[in-house]
Amino acid sequence: MQKSYQKISVLLLVLVAAFHLSLNVAEEKPSLKLGLLKYNGGGDWYSNPTALPNLARFCNEKLFTNFEIDYGTVEVGSAELFNYAFVHMTGHGNVVFSDEEAENLRTYLIAGGFLHIDDNFGMDPFVRPAMKKVFPELEWVELPFTHEIYHKKFDFDKGLPKIHKHEGKPAQGFGLFWEGRVVCFYSYESDLGDGWEDPEVHNDPEDKRQSALKMGANLIQFAFEN
């Protein structure tokens, strides 16, 4: 198992190196692709189809990355998961991980991968037990507003921006820490993904869309630099 972790870690280090290269060198072809997690249970993992393409464009413009605009869809239990250094998960409903899927996701995250879970309303009661199956020994920790994830390219002195009302609760950002590293960030009562979508989808004010995209860029930068 240790050798498997080492091999996977090498792959993810290569992905991270490619990201840093794309910050400084203009390339003809995109070097990286964002991943969207496909899970079982009936939840609409496929919601917000324009979100990741818009985030990729924004990061290419503001962070000088070189992402492909089209994202890759990857199943929880697939070996293809290790081809992505940043994976986004969203939806409104049920989430179910099999034992094999939970183990695969755990291996990916421990080896250096990063998962962003974005509650698209109604996901919270399902995603928490699903992630508990992945890391039964870990508890969610609300990140303080001083955490570096809120202070990468863009500063968010009040923490996670509130994009959609949902139940009217404050937006909160939670992390799962493995050996001191945030391996998973959970944006709750915020709905960043809706803010990343095309303007006409939700008719959000432009300042809200920009806040969502800027926070998304911070997540991307954090995932590749930590």
Whether pLDDT at 20 is above 70? no
**Average pLDDT over all residues of the chain:** 89
Residue 50's pLDDT band (cuts 50, 70, 90) = very high
- Phi and psi at 214, nearest 5°, equal -65, -40
CA torsion 105-76-68-116 (nearest 10°) is -60
pLDDT in tens, 147-166: 999 999 999 999 999 997 76
Distance of CA 70 to CAs 55, 113, 222, Å? 10, 20, 21
Q: For the ranges 5-14, 60-69, 170-179, 181-190, which has the lowest average pLDDT?
A: 5-14
- Phi and psi at 145, nearest 5°, equal -65, -20
What is the spatial distance between Cα 103 and Cα 100, in angstroms, rounded to a whole number?
A: 5
This prediction's pTM: 0.89
What is the C-alpha end-to-end distance of the chain, expressed in Å? Answer: 23
Between 8 and 2, whose confidence is greater? 8
Contact 175, 160 (CB under 8 A): no
Tokens linked to 7: 């091999």
**DSSP H helices in 69-120:** 99-110
What is the spatial distance between Cα 94 and Cα 41, in angstroms, rounded to a whole number?
A: 5
**Average pLDDT for residues 108-137, to the nearest whole number?**
96
Whether pLDDT at 2 is above 50? no
Count Cβ atoms below 10 Å from residue 111 Cβ, excluding itself.
19
Between 114 and 1, whose confidence is greater? 114
Domains, the chain, with CATH or none: 2-225 (3.40.50.12140)
